[in-house]
């Protein structure tokens, strides 16, 4: 059942190549159907018993072990939902191939979040590179493949470091079937030297993937060059893989190393937080604004992940899902703008609000969620994280973290203002407003944004407080 | 004394001698070149073609085939001398050898390896 | 009164070399068939005969599993280790035959197939060779046939390849013979098993081992003795290149492993072998860096082979039992992914032109989607990305290096892999990028059913081996 979350989309993605190339609509709706099926499977599979097959016995035990619960469950839901929404309003050349790649990406990423074995985790971690690389190659604007290479070089280095760390962990501990096993497992057995190196390998992989300053330089280009439906999913979910890794993989397994790295991570997170917000203020390309805002927001989650405070960790869980929702929404809406106006530069757009009021409304909701308006999901995450950070005694980081949150309002509203307000520009084409199917693509995201904003409880409580270090295990939920 | 010492001495002498033969004439000899001296030595006759030029690859083929049958003959001798001692085993072994060779011979023949083209 | 000689060996000895004998005698039938049959039947009958001979030999070899026997006074050892390598050789030769269905001239087919089988029998002899004489015999049998095969194609680069291979390989044989002489001088025996006792003259023994290893490092085309490989691979006909890339290496690796594991005195074995690990590390870097600049797939696979064999040798580091098993596993995985890639190249080839230039792959993803997807799969496997046997194999090698205390080799392996991804994915990029100008619309060669079979088998094996990493169990009792 849980394995179907991985197997179904991958099998469907491969099978989609059997559909004739011209049957674009069939391909699209098949893709939507599969993504929706994954959503249903995830809802039904939450808290179901784990599924495991034997893989390796030597040199260490590794099992094809998957399970669904805790933070992973919410992220898988987010993944299926954002894929579904991104595909509903899809219009792209070579649509069949694109849908197939999206389904492969869906399967690979589900694998990361249901993995209960470090080796399975590493396998899907590397696997989710490939569809993104292929999409960057095959759908690159201006046939520019440099972005694809940069994406690959960064993420593959991270993935390989993670693989090496996994191998080392397996050799030292004798088993990699440990994700979510028990809080603090392995903390005593791993020596300081090995633990440090293993943590370094994991941390590098996670930091690059998130990305966290200074490993972020692949991200703006990748987000700018990926087609909007793909970037919606990548920014919503793939960027969470690193944070999920810190929260679910390293926090329980290597707590001492986590604690030792706190200062460093706080510095990286804060620099990213401020730097991302400042750069987002001056960008002209709307996708890059959202990309740099991601850098800023994810830095905040990194702070929460390393604070060790239960409230902040609950906030991290909420904000991970929240950021996924509104960044997916933002990129989908920006895609709709670009499809109509053939540009997404702030300097070339204006007054769209009068021509396309529904589009303006959709963008408005996403922007408000992103800047943290109370009642929408962004606020719920931010307030929890800031409260938790303050509780943990990190007063100065909390104070610094407040600045970019104010800046977020500035750059997000600047984007909205340039797009929608002002006199309508003469030099841009007048296009019809959102079609019903495009509204259908956005409606579930809007509902989820509001729901999570007013009732973040289930996500916030997806972890349990346990152990003397108050390390929250978000992997398994409250049931183990 | 280490049994390899003579080998070492031999190597040393060889190296010194070879180096000397190459270097000493260049240092000692008087140079008075004239056209006749500069000519390549070939039985006192003017060279008719470039030395080290091409010559037909057919020669190599013949040489190779010759070597094969030469080796065959060479391996027949010791067997013939010890034929009685090796008895049926030796006979069988040699028969197998000849069969293999015969197939090879047939192959070369049919493929035209003996024709001078 | 003529004395009688007793023949010191009996049926068991002949049984031990029976598989090898079948592979060595089949070519006689092949040659006869080539002579006697009409031209139209020739190629198919010749190929069928050769395949049958190989399959029968594989069956015979498999029968001997678990029955170690030291035949011909210790010159040839059977049992687990030998059989594993013999089966690899047989499988490699079979796949190479699959590629020979439409390449090369009809009237050369018989001779070429016969030489291929003789070469394979040499490799099979090396797999079981346990004294210096049989090692040399096997090596020369392997090499002599290959000198002819390399020059088979009617193009100048083929002659270059043959001559280069002849001269350089003979030089390497010279090194090795010299090493053998010194080893004999140091120990007074040609038996590998006799070397394990402390040598009378350790200096001489170390020198001899070094020269001996240089010879085999050359045959494995490990850096810095790999310079010949790209030129030879490029010039040789495609099936021969495929054959060389697997069978030669399997034979040489068998001897190398036997020498490293069984023929060195315990006291200073590790010290003698240190240069070998350095060579392996160098190969991983040099091979992958060399592959970056290639525009011909055969040359690229030549450099890749250098790196891949570097990985295999790295698995032997520390000469642990697990390491040997993983080296064999990776060799098998390498065989499938490498031969799969070669089979794709064969499918793109025509009568007189090999589809190995990078330009043949431009836009292949749109012309031949299935073939391109499979090529992508093989290239991902070679790059060690999931979900392929290359990923599992690399993980196992990483684990065994870390386990054996050679973590630095693991790190270099990771660095090499990161570099290699660029080289392999360059082809993927060519296949999927929207190329400049209209791609050449070329149909596949009609007579290419068998390479498709090869591609399919390799793809399935590469995938299945990921999750069922079958490594042979009891191969360590090598030398009696």
What does the pLDDT look like over C115-150, one tens digit per residue?
999 999 999 999 999 889 999 999 999 999 999 899
Q: Answer whether residue C440 shows pLDDT above 70.
A: no
- B42: confidence class by pLDDT, cuts 50, 70, 90: low
Q: Do C35 and B106 touch (CB under 8 A)?
A: yes
- According to the model, what pLDDT value does residue A186 have? 45
Buried b (16+ CB within 10 A) or exposed e, B12-48: eeeeeeeeeeeeeeeeeeeeeeeeeeeeeeeeeeeee
Domain boundaries, chain C: 11-467
Subunits next to C (3 or more Cβ pairs <8 Å) are A, B
State whether residue A373 sits within 8 Å of chain C by CB. Answer: no
Q: What is the mean pLDDT of chain B?
A: 82
| CA separation for the pair A101, A340 (Å, rounded) | 24
- According to the model, what pLDDT value does residue C2 have? 52
| A466 beta partners | A471
Instruction: Kindly list the residues from chain B whose CB atom is less than 8 angstroms away from the CB atom of residue C4.
Output: 84-85, 87
What does the pLDDT look like over A132-163, one tens digit per residue?
999 998 888 777 788 899 999 999 999 999 99
Buried b (16+ CB within 10 A) or exposed e, C191-227: bbbbbbeebeeeebbbbbbebbbbbbbbbbbbbebbe
Mean pLDDT of C380-394: 92
Q: Do C31 and B89 touch (CB under 8 A)?
A: no
| Percent with pLDDT over 90 in chain A | 49
- According to the model, what pLDDT value does residue B43 have? 65
Mean pLDDT of A353-368: 89
Buried b (16+ CB within 10 A) or exposed e, C386-406: bbbbbbbbbbbbbbbbbbbeb
B8: Cα separation from own chain's centroid:
28
- According to the model, what pLDDT value does residue A160 have? 93
What does the pLDDT look like over A5-19, one tens digit per residue?
999 999 999 999 888
Q: Answer whether residue A478 shows pLDDT above 50.
A: no
Q: Answer whether residue C437 shows pLDDT above 60.
A: no
Instruction: Kindly list the residues from chain C whose CB atom is less than 8 angstroms away from the CB atom of residue B89.
Output: 7
Q: Which of A300, A403, A320, A264 is nearest to A78 (CA)?
A: A320
CA atoms within a 13 Å half-sphere pointing along the CA-CB vector of C398: 29
Q: How many other C-beta atoms can be found within 10 angstroms of the C-beta atom of residue B111?
A: 16
What does the pLDDT look like over A55-64, one tens digit per residue?
888 788 899 9
State whether residue B80 sits within 8 Å of chain C by CB. Answer: no
Highest mean pLDDT among A277-281, A456-460, C320-324: A277-281
Within C263-320, where are the H helices?
A: 269-292, 297-316
- According to the model, what pLDDT value does residue B47 have? 63
Mean pLDDT of A109-133: 93
| CA separation for the pair A143, C442 (Å, rounded) | 23
Mean pLDDT of C390-418: 92
User: Residue C172: which residues within 8 A CB-CB, separation 6 or more?
Assistant: C214, C215, C218, C219, C225
Instruction: Kindly list the residues from chain C whose CB atom is less than 8 angstroms away from the CB atom of residue A167.
Output: 395, 398-399, 402, 410
State whether residue C421 sits within 8 Å of chain A by CB. Answer: yes
Concatenate the DSSP letters of all residues of C134-178 into one string.
Answer: HHHHHHHHHHHHHHHHHT-SSSHHHHHHHHHHHHHHHHHHHHHHH
Mean pLDDT of A265-271: 93
State whether residue C428 sits within 8 Å of chain A by CB. Answer: yes
| Percent with pLDDT over 70 in chain A | 94
| CA separation for the pair A258, A202 (Å, rounded) | 11
- According to the model, what pLDDT value does residue A465 have? 43
Mean pLDDT of A400-410: 89
The encoded tokens of residue C360 equal: 């043949």
Residue of B nearest to C4 (CA): B85
Q: Do B85 and C4 touch (CB under 8 A)?
A: yes
Weakest-pLDDT range from A104-108, A457-461, B47-51: B47-51
- According to the model, what pLDDT value does residue A340 have? 84
CA atoms within a 13 Å half-sphere pointing along the CA-CB vector of A300: 37
Weakest-pLDDT range from A453-457, B57-61, C237-241: B57-61
- According to the model, what pLDDT value does residue C44 have? 87
Weakest-pLDDT range from A38-52, A189-203, C98-112, C305-319: C98-112
Answer with the residue of higher pLDDT: C459 or B112: C459
Within A184-285, where are the H helices?
A: 192-209, 219-225, 228-233, 240-244, 251-253, 255-260, 262-282
Buried b (16+ CB within 10 A) or exposed e, B49-85: eeeeeeeeeeeeeeeeeeeeeeeeeeeeeeeeeeeee
The encoded tokens of residue A450 equal: 């509001």
| CA separation for the pair A289, A269 (Å, rounded) | 18
What is the complex's ipTM, to 2 decimals? 0.91
Q: Answer whether residue B30 shows pLDDT above 90.
A: no
Q: Which of A479, A315, A335, A339 is nearest to A388 (CA)?
A: A315
Q: Answer whether residue A20 shows pLDDT above 60.
A: yes
- According to the model, what pLDDT value does residue A467 have? 34
Concatenate the DSSP letters of all residues of A80-123 into one string.
Answer: HHHHHHHHHT---SSHHHHHHHHHHHHHHHHHHHHB-SHHHHHH
Q: Do C422 and A153 touch (CB under 8 A)?
A: yes
- C165: confidence class by pLDDT, cuts 50, 70, 90: very high
Q: Answer whether residue A410 shows pLDDT above 50.
A: yes
Taking CB atoms and an 8 Å cut-off, how many pairs form between chains A and C? 86
What does the pLDDT look like over C213-247, one tens digit per residue?
999 999 899 988 898 999 999 888 889 999 999 99
Answer with the residue of higher pLDDT: A249 or A477: A249
How much of chain A is in helix, strand and coil states, percent to nearest 5?
70, 5, 25
Q: How many other C-beta atoms can be found within 10 angstroms of the C-beta atom of residue A53?
A: 10
Determine the 3-state secondary structure of B89 from DSSP. Answer: helix
Distance from CA of C301 to the nearest CA of B (A): 33
| Percent with pLDDT over 70 in chain C | 92
Q: What is the mean pLDDT of chain C?
A: 87
Buried b (16+ CB within 10 A) or exposed e, A61-72: bbbbbbbbbbbb
How would you write C337-348 as a 3-class SS string? HHHHHHHHHHHC
Q: Answer whether residue A466 shows pLDDT above 50.
A: no
Q: Answer whether residue C446 shows pLDDT above 60.
A: no
Mean pLDDT of C264-271: 80
Determine the 3-state secondary structure of A54 from DSSP. Answer: strand
Residue of C nearest to A170 (CA): C399
The encoded tokens of residue A258 equal: 């986590």
Q: Answer whether residue C354 shows pLDDT above 80.
A: no
- A111: confidence class by pLDDT, cuts 50, 70, 90: very high
Q: Taking every pair of C-alpha atoms in chain A, what is the biggest distance, in angstroms?
A: 69
- According to the model, what pLDDT value does residue C252 have? 94
Q: Answer whether residue B82 shows pLDDT above 90.
A: no
| CA separation for the pair C316, A190 (Å, rounded) | 26
Contact between C230 and C299 under an 8 Å Cβ cutoff? The reply is yes
Element (H, E) at C68: none
| CA separation for the pair A196, A188 (Å, rounded) | 13
Q: Answer whether residue A96 shows pLDDT above 60.
A: yes
Q: Do A163 and C411 touch (CB under 8 A)?
A: no
User: Residue A56: which residues within 8 A CB-CB, separation 6 or more?
Assistant: A62, A119, C396, C469
Element (H, E) at A63: strand A62-66
Task: Using alpha carbons, list the distances in angstroms from residue C447 to A441, C34, C451.
Answer: 49, 20, 9
- A181: confidence class by pLDDT, cuts 50, 70, 90: low
State whether residue C476 sits within 8 Å of chain A by CB. Answer: no
Q: Which of C446, C413, C382 is nearest to C284 (CA)?
A: C413
- According to the model, what pLDDT value does residue A354 have? 82
Answer with the residue of higher pLDDT: A218 or B31: A218
Q: Please give the DSSP secondary-structure letter assigned to residue C7.
A: P
- According to the model, what pLDDT value does residue A4 have? 92
Q: Answer whether residue C110 shows pLDDT above 90.
A: no
- According to the model, what pLDDT value does residue A468 have? 33
Instruction: Kindly list the residues from chain C whose CB atom is less than 8 angstroms away from the CB atom of residue A157.
Output: 418
- According to the model, what pLDDT value does residue C169 have? 92
C300: Cα separation from own chain's centroid:
16
Q: Answer whether residue A227 shows pLDDT above 80.
A: yes
Q: How many other C-beta atoms can be found within 10 angstroms of the C-beta atom of residue C468?
A: 12
């Amino acid at each position: 059942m849980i394995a179907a979350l991985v197997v179904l989309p991958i099998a469907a993605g491969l099978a989609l190549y059997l559909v004739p190339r011209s049957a674009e609509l069939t391909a699209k709706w098949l893709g939507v159907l599969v993504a929706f099926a994954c959503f249903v499977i995830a809802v039904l599979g939450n808290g179901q018993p784990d599924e495991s097959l034997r893989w390796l016995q030597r040199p260490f035990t590794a099992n094809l072990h998957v399970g669904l619960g805790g933070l992973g469950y919410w992220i898988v839901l987010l993944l299926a939902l954002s894929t579904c929404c991104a595909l509903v309003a899809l219009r792209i050349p070579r649509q069949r191939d694109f849908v197939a790649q999206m389904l492969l990406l869906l399967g690979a990423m589900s694998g990361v979040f249901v993995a209960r074995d470090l080796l399975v985790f590493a396998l899907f971690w590397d696997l989710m590179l490939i569809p993104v690389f292929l999409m960057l190659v095959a759908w690159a604007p201006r046939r520019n493949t440099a972005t694809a290479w940069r994406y690959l070089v960064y993420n593959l280095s991270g993935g390989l470091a993670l693989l090496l760390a996994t191998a080392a962990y397996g050799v030292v501990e004798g088993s990699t079937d440990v994700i979510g096993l028990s809080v603090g497992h392995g903390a005593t057995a791993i020596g300081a030297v090995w633990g440090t190196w293993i943590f370094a390998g994991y941390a590098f992989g996670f930091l690059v993937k998130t990305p966290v300053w200074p490993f972020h330089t692949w991200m703006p280009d990748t987000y700018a060059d990926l087609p909007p439906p793909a970037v919606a999913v990548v920014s919503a979910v793939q960027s969470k893989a690193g944070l999920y890794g810190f929260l679910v993989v390293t926090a329980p397994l290597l707590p001492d190393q986590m604690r030792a790295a706190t200062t460093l991570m706080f510095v990286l997170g804060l620099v990213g937080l401020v730097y991302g917000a400042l750069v987002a203020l001056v960008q002209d390309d709307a996708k890059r604004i959202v990309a740099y805002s991601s850098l800023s927001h994810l830095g905040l989650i990194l702070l929460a992940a390393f604070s060790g405070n239960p409230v902040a960790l609950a906030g991290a869980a909420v904000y991970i899902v929240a950021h996924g929702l509104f960044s997916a929404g933002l990129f989908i809406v920006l895609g709709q703008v670009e499809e109509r106006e053939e540009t997404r530069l702030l300097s070339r757009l204006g007054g769209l609000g009068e021509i396309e009021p529904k589009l303006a409304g959709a963008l408005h909701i996403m922007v408000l969620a992103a800047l943290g308006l109370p009642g929408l999901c962004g606020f719920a995450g931010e307030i929890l994280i800031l409260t938790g950070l303050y509780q943990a005694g990190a007063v100065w980081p909390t104070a610094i973290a407040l600045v970019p949150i104010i800046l977020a309002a500035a750059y997000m509203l600047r984007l909205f203002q340039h797009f929608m307000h002002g006199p309508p520009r003469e030099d841009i084409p007048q296009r019809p407003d959102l079609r019903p199917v495009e509204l259908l693509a956005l409606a579930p995201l809007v509902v989820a944004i509001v729901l999570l904003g007013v009732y973040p409880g289930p996500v916030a409580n997806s972890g349990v407080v346990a152990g003397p270090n108050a390390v929250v295990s978000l992997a398994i939920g409250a049931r183990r | 004394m280490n049994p390899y010492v003579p080998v070492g001495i031999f190597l040393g002498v060889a190296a010194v001698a070879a180096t000397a033969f190459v270097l000493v004439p260049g240092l000692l000899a008087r140079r008075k070149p004239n056209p006749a001296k500069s000519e390549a030595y070939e039985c006192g006759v003017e060279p008719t073609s470039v030395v080290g030029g091409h010559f037909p690859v057919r020669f190599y083929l013949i040489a190779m085939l010759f070597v094969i049958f030469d080796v065959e003959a060479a391996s027949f001798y010791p067997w013939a001398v010890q034929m009685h001692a090796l008895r049926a085993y030796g006979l069988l072994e040699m028969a197998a050898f000849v069969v293999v060779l015969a197939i090879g011979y047939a192959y070369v023949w049919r493929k035209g390896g003996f024709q001078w083209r | 009164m003529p004395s009688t000689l007793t023949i010191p060996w009996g049926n068991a000895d002949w049984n031990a070399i029976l598989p090898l004998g079948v592979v060595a005698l089949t070519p006689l039938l092949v040659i006869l068939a080539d002579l006697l049959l009409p031209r139209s039947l020739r190629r198919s009958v010749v190929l069928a005969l050769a395949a049958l001979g190989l399959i029968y030999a594989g069956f015979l070899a498999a029968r001997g599993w678990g029955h170690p026997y030291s035949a011909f006074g210790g010159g040839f050892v059977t049992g687990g280790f030998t059989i594993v390598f013999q089966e690899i050789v047989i499988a490699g030769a079979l796949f190479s035959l699959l590629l020979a269905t439409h390449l090369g001239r009809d009237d050369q087919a018989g001779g070429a197939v016969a030489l291929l089988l003789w070469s394979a029998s040499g490799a099979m002899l090396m797999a079981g060779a346990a004294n210096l004489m049989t090692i040399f015999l096997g090596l020369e049998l392997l090499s002599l046939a290959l000198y002819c095969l390399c020059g088979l194609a009617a193009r100048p680069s083929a002659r270059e390849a043959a001559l280069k291979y002849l001269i350089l390989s003979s030089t390497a044989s010279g090194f090795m013979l010299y090493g053998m002489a010194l080893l004999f001088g140091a120990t007074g025996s040609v038996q590998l098993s006799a070397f394990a006792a402390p040598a009378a003259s350790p200096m001489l023994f170390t020198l001899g081992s070094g020269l001996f290893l240089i010879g085999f490092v050359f045959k494995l085309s490990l850096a810095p003795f790999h310079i010949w490989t790209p030129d030879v691979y490029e010039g040789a006909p495609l099936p021969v290149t495929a054959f060389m890339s697997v069978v030669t290496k399997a034979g040489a690796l068998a001897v190398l492993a036997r020498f490293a594991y069984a023929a060195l005195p315990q006291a200073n074995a590790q010290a003698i072998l240190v240069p070998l690990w350095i060579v392996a590390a160098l190969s991983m870097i040099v091979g992958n860096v060399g592959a970056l600049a290639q525009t011909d797939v055969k040359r690229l696979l030549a450099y890749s082979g250098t790196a891949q064999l570097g990985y295999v040798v790295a698995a032997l580091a520390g000469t642990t039992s697990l390491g040997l098993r993983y080296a064999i596993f990776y060799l098998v995985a390498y065989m499938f992914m490498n031969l799969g890639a070669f089979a794709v190249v064969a499918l793109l080839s025509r009568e007189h032109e090999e589809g190995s230039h990078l330009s043949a792959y431009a836009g292949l993803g749109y012309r031949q989607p299935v073939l391109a997807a499979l090529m992508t799969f093989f290239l991902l496997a070679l790059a060690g990305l999931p979900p392929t046997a290359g990923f599992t194999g690399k993980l196992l090698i990483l684990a065994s290096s870390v386990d054996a205390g050679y973590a630095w080799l693991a790190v270099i392996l990771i660095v090499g892999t990161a570099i290699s991804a660029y080289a392999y994915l360059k082809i993927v990029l060519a296949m999927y990028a929207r190329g400049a100008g209209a791609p050449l619309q070329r149909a596949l060669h009609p007579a290419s059913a068998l390479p498709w079979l090869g591609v399919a088998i390799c793809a399935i094996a590469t995938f299945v081996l990921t999750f069922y990493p079958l490594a042979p169990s009891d191969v360590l009792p090598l030398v009696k």
